[in-house]
Amino acid sequence: MLWLLFLSLPGLGGSVPSFPPVFPGLSSLTQQGGPVGAHNAPAGRWPWQVSVRRYNKELELWQHLCGGSLIHHQWVLTTAHCTQREDWAAYGLRVQVGQLRLYDHDTLTTVTKIVRHPKFNQSLSAEGGADVALLTLEAPVTLSERIGLVPLPPASLRVPERKMCWMSGWGYSSLGAPRLWPYQLQEVMVPIVGNEVCNQRYQNSSTNTGQIIKDDMLCAGSEGQDSCQGDSGGPLVCSLEGTWVQVGIVSCGYSCGHRDFPGVYARVMSFISWIRKYVPPPSGS
């Protein structure tokens, strides 16, 4: 069974487990706390990275729940499983943009609408695919050196196996690690793993002989280089012809940084037409 890569929040009824069963867990970003095998991201490298927050009554804090990416002045791309609880309405979420260190001078933006992909199955969660959602922000954000938009790829893009791409986030450094975030945004370079190879690896330790890695999923990661709990919804970007484009959204996996289980991402190319129904392309593109 796979595990989701988002954080549970104490003080919200305790009904969300730390590792909701779904996909064989996602890998992590750093060895310090953050993606597995990760290191501190320099200021301004990933200006589209956002933190999706949910209020923690016990801590009296808008606590980091998932990652996300700014794809428009007023839209954030994240995973559907980060928003799937029925009692989590849009007004209960906030987004922090342009921040390198988590909780450092927060200036939160209210979310006014959650749009989940229509094929996302709440019972199957990430395991069923279509693990993608859009968040509408109350007001457009102002772009700057610290805040920018991530370009989306053409739907026809095929990312070659073994291509090295980058994932960023504030997640844990290992599955079940203490809840001490790195605070500093972390980054890790991960190789793309072909869907056929990835599916075979997951099948080898599963009783499921069907297709575990769906066509709308993308795998990336290697031993000690992966995403982890708290990284869900964050971007996987690749440099193509000198331009960064977002090809994946951290979704799920099995363990964090395990040599046999690459991280599993929502394949952005599979959702371009759906995204464009709501989010216009940037001017001039």
Tell which residue, 137, 148, 150, has the closest CA to residue 235.
150
Average pLDDT over residues 200-229: 81
Asked if residue 192 and residue 137 are part of one domain, the reply reads no
Catalytic residue numbers, as ranges = 81, 131, 232
Does residue 18 fall inside a structural domain? no
Does residue 86 fall inside a structural domain? yes
Asked if residue 179 and residue 120 are part of one domain, the reply reads no
Does residue 27 fall inside a structural domain? no
Least confident of 94-103, 122-131, 181-190: 181-190
Asked if residue 212 and residue 142 are part of one domain, the reply reads no
Does residue 276 fall inside a structural domain? no
Range of the domain at 256: 163-269
Asked if residue 169 and residue 141 are part of one domain, the reply reads no
Residue 267, pLDDT score: 98
Does residue 12 fall inside a structural domain? no
Residue 72, pLDDT score: 97
Residue 177, pLDDT score: 54
Query: Does residue 9 register a pLDDT over 60?
Result: no
Does residue 1 fall inside a structural domain? no
Asked if residue 121 and residue 209 are part of one domain, the reply reads no
- State what percent of residues in the chain have pLDDT above 70: 78
- CATH number for the domain harbouring residue 77: 2.40.10.10
Predicted model pTM: 0.86
Q: How many domains does the chain have?
A: 2
Least confident of 27-31, 220-224, 278-282: 27-31
Number of helical H runs and strand E runs in the chain? 2, 15
Residues 114, 26: Cα–Cα separation, whole Å: 24
Asked if residue 167 and residue 137 are part of one domain, the reply reads no
Residue 248, pLDDT score: 97
pLDDT (tens digit per residue) in 122-135: 888 888 999 999 99
Helix (H) or strand (E) holding 52: strand 49-56
C-beta neighbour count of 200 within 10 angstroms: 12
Does residue 101 fall inside a structural domain? yes
The residue from 104, 123, 147 where one domain ends is: 147
Residue 229, pLDDT score: 72
Does residue 204 fall inside a structural domain? yes
Asked if residue 236 and residue 194 are part of one domain, the reply reads yes
pLDDT (tens digit per residue) in 189-214: 999 999 999 999 888 877 777 899 99
CB-based burial label for 121 (10 Å; 0-12, 13-18, 19+): middle
Asked if residue 178 and residue 96 are part of one domain, the reply reads no
Query: Does residue 154 register a pLDDT over 80?
Result: yes
Q: For residue 204, what are the CA distances in angstroms to 77, 197, 209, 212? A: 32, 11, 9, 11
Q: For residue 89, what are the CA distances in angstroms to 5, 134, 257, 269? A: 20, 13, 32, 27
The residue from 86, 114, 147 where one domain ends is: 147
DSSP annotation of 275: H
Residue 257, pLDDT score: 58
Residues 168, 145: Cα–Cα separation, whole Å: 18
> 169 is written with which tokens?
């986030």
Residues 63, 75: Cα–Cα separation, whole Å: 20
CB contact at 8 A, 269 and 77: no
Q: Give CA torsion, residues 226, 230, 232, 235, to 10 deg.
A: -70
Residues 14, 100: Cα–Cα separation, whole Å: 29
**CA atoms 158, 160, 165, 167: torsion sign:** positive
The residue from 147, 172, 202 where one domain ends is: 147
How much is the mean pLDDT over the chain?
Answer: 82
CB-based burial label for 118 (10 Å; 0-12, 13-18, 19+): exposed
CB contact at 8 A, 272 and 280: no
DSSP annotation of 47: T
